Structure 1
């Protein structure tokens, strides 16, 4: 029984030789059920994308919500996680079926050059807001643990993220996944242990599931929680992670299909080699043509789509549980306590309430969160630029440029926690620009073929979009009116 991706491909080719030879690849039906070892090997991209749901912005938003309003906004965390499952599944499915990321697909469909630039600009601002939160969170964690000044902590966080990205580009997606999943485990432990030491009230949790707001500030925090939970850059990144994880075969299959789809010479630009994407690495097909839906990967598309559902379910279960634990930890231990409106104050209060071990674990979790999420954020930013503008900026240069806003905020002495919360509000406004095109594209048979959304899936995506846009509209009105 194959336990590697190569084994999966070899087994499939042996079982379906016509699919292996390219002719009639789209007509072969893979109805067998995926065995546990095979499915386990295919899990990973969603866990990496899921780190975006556990970044320092999430920590700041959930801690602030719990400290200020107790259990009131539990329903926002739960609702956000449910919507996140749907959104991340659609993003991953787009990357698997088409062999292209969401920015790539949009870059090919937005005909206007200025339209592409405008879309890129808002997406780039979202990526920079993400990076802002993650670098600041890492800097605060280093300050709490080792007393390192915030500005130097930001530089260290950025430097480590460069190392992780270089690891991804040189060792491939699978190694990168293992490292990020290891950091994810540290994050989960650091943020959940305190809940077991001081359990929340079951009655309070149930009461928090009733949707409602207390005042304008609770609406602001709800938008912040949703912006931190359903992060636009995670939508862009997940489609690219799925594409990178399962090597696309654009040149190979285009050459096999030929112009008529039944074989023939390879078209111009197709080299017949597997193409790996990400951070400027292009091997083989840099200008390969668009594939027929479902022919982008060497592993059967049905197998990948089934495995992706489990991948997303596991990732969102972890992210949702940890986010809920952060809010509950604050609701139980920080509600009404002076000085807990900042991460530094929350750390000190946790030390008093639960002891230095729990407080240290919290700070370690925050550090792991900053290091892991800033790497995924930089990955998303690079993909956004390439997919929409077809521009590859050297990794080191891009990392340095995106570090500047975060380092400037740290150097100028702005409150880190307030900066984190406001950055998540910016992310919330960027959600519709990623979500609406994603739902629209995955509903089209011309894009996903027989893997297009069921009408109920599209309806759920539309409902999520309407809810998020409405919430952002209310938030904007409250801000403009001074309410």
Structure 2
């Protein structure tokens, strides 16, 4: 049991991306497009494994975070300043949006748990739920002693994930349609959903967070095989859960999803009337877990970019995550439908990914940093392919938003 609960950094990454955004975006993908976007999720999982393995390898070899390594590569103050400004702005925008999605998802679960008659709730119009989630996350982050509770929340998320896997089997999907969903389709109608699926799986701040925290567990290059295994296993398991959620979403007959009660319809064949509460507990726990990792990721980025020699309890480090947490609570309390906020957060991350991925790919080819542990030509080929695909999807997503204004 002790070995089972010895959670590695890979599980941190998975716990971060299996949040309310993943549940919501994958459910909506299944509701709106059936199995047709499973191929996009496979692409997302491959991209996540490749990029996170690079981040973990960088952290183990250099014992530094991604932002610290990037900063050290530019002697020109102007270029370094532009680079730092670009990274900070990208992470702050993405994490603020992502945090709003985390808090909104947790608030959806909390509101449904406390208000059993929540069927008429179209958005989080009462700020108390978002504020409550923010206060819980604040307390856990401030005292720095949240490991026991976080592991409990991860167990709750795993229980919810198991429910989706079971329901995916119980729905008895048409296997011919299911396998057809792994054939790529870049039609205009689903492009933003594809970007959202990538954004909810390959989260830019996770690259920084992963590179920073692996050095706390592994101190030698001899540990690289263990770090790689930890990354691959954790992310693939998370990807399987996301696939199960899409399959579950495809079984939902509702055409419009506005609240936790609507999302819960996919669980009714297994849990009956209790479906709403099972999903709400999962959304709440996923929201809290992800609401912790997003501010931490931003704080690690700022720490590396500005060269702080700080720890988790330092005033400067706390100031960063407090700011991100405040923005998340603020944006989630504006009266906008929570589903809309969550979707926007995932799309924003999908658009930011090419920038961060390009920086990472460049660093992983610097022999003076990694020595013999630089990328192989195969890793570079896969990395460039991922970068091209994410750029293509990102530009198409932006173009669609512009023409629809």
Structure 1 residue 374, shift from structure 2 partner: 1.2
- Equivalent residue for 1:185? 158
1:357 aligned to 2:277? Answer: no
Counterpart Cα distance in 1 of 2:265 and 2:132: 23
Q: 2:110 aligns with which of 142, 155, 160?
A: 142
Q: 2:66 aligns with which of 102, 121, 131?
A: 102
Q: 2:203 aligns with which of 231, 251, 268?
A: 231
What SS class does the counterpart of residue 29 from structure 2 fall into? helix
- Equivalent residue for 1:114? 81
- Equivalent residue for 1:434? 356
Structure 1 residue 441, shift from structure 2 partner: 1.1
Counterpart Cα distance in 2 of 1:243 and 1:309: 13
Structure 1 residue 45, shift from structure 2 partner: 0.6
- Equivalent residue for 2:250? 331
Counterpart Cα distance in 2 of 1:138 and 1:450: 44
Structure 1 residue 378, shift from structure 2 partner: 1.3
Counterpart Cα distance in 2 of 1:42 and 1:445: 33
Greater mean alpha carbon deviation, residues 175-184 or residues 417-426: 175-184
**Deviations along 1:413-432, whole A, 9 cap, x unmatched?**
11110111111111111101
The verdict on how the C-alpha distance between 1:418 and 1:344 changes in structure 2, with shifts beyond 3 A counting, is farther
Alpha-carbon contact 1:47-1:181 (below 8 Å) kept: no
- Equivalent residue for 2:97? 129
1:301 aligned to 2:221? Answer: yes
Structure 1 residue 473, shift from structure 2 partner: 1.1
The verdict on how the C-alpha distance between 1:203 and 1:354 changes in structure 2, with shifts beyond 3 A counting, is farther
Alpha-carbon contact 2:30-2:247 (below 8 Å) kept: yes
- Equivalent residue for 2:238? 319
**Deviations along 1:354-395, whole A, 9 cap, x unmatched?**
612333222221111111111111110100111112356545
1:346 aligned to 2:263? Answer: yes
Structure 1 residue 182, shift from structure 2 partner: 3.3
The verdict on how the C-alpha distance between 1:73 and 1:433 changes in structure 2, with shifts beyond 3 A counting, is same
**Deviations along 1:22-49, whole A, 9 cap, x unmatched?**
xxxxxxxxxxxxxxx7xx8986111011
Counterpart Cα distance in 2 of 1:170 and 1:143: 26
Q: How much is the aligned-residue C-alpha RMSD, in angstroms?
A: 2.7
The verdict on how the C-alpha distance between 1:428 and 1:405 changes in structure 2, with shifts beyond 3 A counting, is same
Q: 2:137 aligns with which of 161, 168, 179?
A: 161
Alpha-carbon contact 1:138-1:157 (below 8 Å) kept: yes
The verdict on how the C-alpha distance between 1:373 and 1:75 changes in structure 2, with shifts beyond 3 A counting, is same
Instruction: Kindly name which structure, 1 or 2, has the bigger radius of gyration based on alpha carbons.
Output: 1
1:73 aligned to 2:48? Answer: no
Structure 1 residue 351, shift from structure 2 partner: 4.1
Q: 1:387 aligns with which of 277, 282, 304?
A: 304
Counterpart Cα distance in 2 of 1:97 and 1:222: 34
Alpha-carbon contact 2:138-2:322 (below 8 Å) kept: no
The verdict on how the C-alpha distance between 1:355 and 1:395 changes in structure 2, with shifts beyond 3 A counting, is farther
Structure 1 residue 138, shift from structure 2 partner: 0.6
1:423 aligned to 2:396? Answer: no
Alpha-carbon contact 2:167-2:270 (below 8 Å) kept: no
What SS class does the counterpart of residue 304 from structure 2 fall into? helix
Counterpart Cα distance in 2 of 1:429 and 1:473: 8
**Deviations along 1:194-251, whole A, 9 cap, x unmatched?**
224323222221010111144x3311100111111111011111101102334xxxxx
Alpha-carbon contact 1:139-1:157 (below 8 Å) kept: yes
Structure 1 residue 156, shift from structure 2 partner: 2.3
Alpha-carbon contact 1:134-1:371 (below 8 Å) kept: yes
Greater RCO (Cα-Cα under 8 Å, separation 6 or more)? 2
1:83 aligned to 2:59? Answer: no
Alpha-carbon contact 2:22-2:201 (below 8 Å) kept: yes
Structure 1 residue 117, shift from structure 2 partner: 2.2
Unaligned runs of 5+ in 2: 119-123
Unaligned runs of 5+ in 1: 5-36, 247-296
What SS class does the counterpart of residue 355 from structure 1 fall into? helix
The verdict on how the C-alpha distance between 1:125 and 1:74 changes in structure 2, with shifts beyond 3 A counting, is same
Alpha-carbon contact 1:154-1:407 (below 8 Å) kept: yes
Alpha-carbon contact 1:237-1:380 (below 8 Å) kept: yes
- Equivalent residue for 1:469? 391
What SS class does the counterpart of residue 122 from structure 1 fall into? helix
Greater mean alpha carbon deviation, residues 135-144 or residues 472-481: 472-481
- Equivalent residue for 2:121? none
- Equivalent residue for 2:171? 198
